[in-house]
Amino acid sequence: MSEPPHILITDDDPRIRQMLSRYLESEGFRVSTAESGTAMRKALASEKIDLVLLDLVLAGEDGLELAREIRASSRVGIIMVTGRSDIIDMVVGLEVGADDYIAKPFQLREVLARTRSVLRRLQPSASTETAKAVGPSSRAEVIGFEGWRLDISRRELMSPEGQEVPLTTGEFDLLAAMAKHPGRVLSRDMLMDLTRGREWDALDRSIDAQVVRLRRKLEADPKNPKLIKSVRGAGYVFAGRIERM
């Protein structure tokens, strides 16, 4: 049997660490806790962590910098935990690579739902496992555009120069959704449905943050995008010329 997902709760409030730890353990997760960025780094270096619940307001430390540090070296899931007034922090956190956020005060059932949602998106699909098992000669869904190669089965993006470009789970899901609907204007709500189903709220702005990050990775000039274009008042359109491979 496979091991349960391992969650790392990083928060300097012992009451929150204890509450979340007990609740998530009762739901079948393996849980570790860290009271600081230093303890978080030690846990990430010594154990296999699947997802980090990261409080953005740690005593003497910048949670956004910690999120950026994690994402620079790992694809581990990151859910930011922040105060309701920290809207700018939410957006910046999503821009640096967090997968989701939870606003305080939160309901434990919301924490559970968002944790499960991010973990599902992090898990390789059955088609991914099949492709790995039978090798590169198997048929896989690959989308080419302007020299780029997006392998849906293996969840990989290769640049025109042949280099793999690391994407967060949210970035990959968003790019795949847009590349599968080229030339079609997709509203934010439509993109949220395509990437998350109904597990989102009306104030969620993660799509905009992910578009910003994708443009930085895909566009020669992110401020004048040629692949992912904005349609004022409507959403976004993928303008790249698609080639099924």
pLDDT score of 197 more than 90? no
How far is C-alpha 229 from the geometric centre of its chain's CA atoms?
21
Ordered strands of the 30-34 beta sheet: 30-34, 6-10, 51-55, 77-83, 100-104
What's the rounded mean pLDDT across residues 97-104? 84
Residue among 64, 15, 65 at smallest CA distance from 35:
15
Cα–Cα distance for residue pair 173/230, rounded to 1 Å: 18
Highest mean pLDDT among 28-42, 84-98, 122-136, 159-173: 28-42
Q: What is the pLDDT of residues 113-145, one digit of tens each?
A: 889 988 887 775 444 443 444 344 344 589 999
Cα–Cα distance for residue pair 120/190, rounded to 1 Å: 20
What's the rounded mean pLDDT across residues 172-199? 84
Highest mean pLDDT among 26-30, 70-74, 137-141: 26-30
pLDDT recorded at residue 159: 93
Could you give all domains of the chain from N- to C-terminal order, each with its CATH number?
A: 6-122 (3.40.50.2300), 126-244 (1.10.10.10)
Q: Give the three-state DSSP class for 160.
A: coil
pLDDT recorded at residue 104: 83
pLDDT recorded at residue 53: 96
Highest mean pLDDT among 18-32, 68-82, 201-215, 230-244: 18-32
pLDDT score of 199 more than 90? no
* Residue 136 buriedness (CB in 10 A; 0-12 / 13-18 / 19+): exposed
Cα–Cα distance for residue pair 36/30, rounded to 1 Å: 19
